[in-house]
Amino acid sequence: MKFAVIVFPGSNCDRDMYHAVKDVLKTEADLVWYEGSNLENYDGILLPGGFSYGDYLRCGAVASTSDIMKQIKVHAAKGKPVLGVCNGFQILTEAGLLPGALLRNEKLSFMCHQEPLVVENNETIFTAAYDKGEVVHFPIAHGEGNYFCDEETLKELKANNQIVFTYQNNPNGSVEDIAGIMNKQGNVLGMMPHPERAVEQLLGSDDGLRLFQSMIQNWRDMYAANA
């Protein structure tokens, strides 16, 4: 499997994401600058955290209008996996690939610490290696991670089992403790916590490994089925 780690002006978690898939998981990956790049030959797209375009207007708003997002939408429409973490999640909501929005944290402060999450849905290409209801530990690092959606959207998320991760302690005020959601098709996941920063016990947790391993195993299964 070959990953594209998208780099925008202001991205600062791109090297973490690249290290997780390239160095720890030993799979193919490239850092892909947002201008003038072709995503046709990549199997998975990773949108890392950071402050794309300095978070002007709204977090992720400017990046969501970039030309590379047109390619990512085509990639997603083909059923290929797209993972957006932190600012990447914000970009996915701004681009309309995921519903809802990320608001300022409830206490209006930047948060950076390890956070326990609950795996709500393990029947996805991102979470197949986890158990349903399992508590995992990923770091958070955000000032605008308060997930919000209206009642109708929330009902739809629940009905379609699109809520993938919830916070055990809800540090930022997100509606229904939501930490990560996916699209209806199940191939686009956005989450505020950082699985790429939880791939080595040296960093306090390697619970994030299984998210990337789930993606890789799903790709292998699809490849074998089509061989």
The span from the CA of 185 to the CA of 76, in Å, is 9
Centre a 10 Å sphere on the Cβ of residue 149 and count the other Cβ atoms it contains.
Answer: 20
Helix (H, G, I), strand (E, B) or coil at 180: strand
Is residue 13 annotated as a catalytic residue, yes or no? no
Q: What are phi and psi of 144, to 5 degrees?
A: -130, 70
Burial of 11 (0-12, 13-18, 19+ CB in 10 A): buried
Amino acid at 159: A
Helix or strand holding residue 90 (H, E): helix 87-94
Q: Measured over all CA atoms, what is the biggest interatomic distance in the chain, rounded to whole angstroms?
A: 52
DSSP β-ladder status, 111-119 and 101-103:
unpaired
Active-site residue, from 86, 94, 115, 144: 86
Is residue 137 annotated as a catalytic residue, yes or no? no
Give the closest residue to 24 by CA, choosing from 218, 222, 202. Answer: 202
DSSP β-ladder status, 111-119 and 188-191:
unpaired
- Beta strand ranges found along 78-184 (DSSP E): 82-85, 101-103, 111-119, 135-142, 146-148, 163-167, 178-182
Is residue 115 annotated as a catalytic residue, yes or no? no
Residues tagged active-site: 86, 194, 196
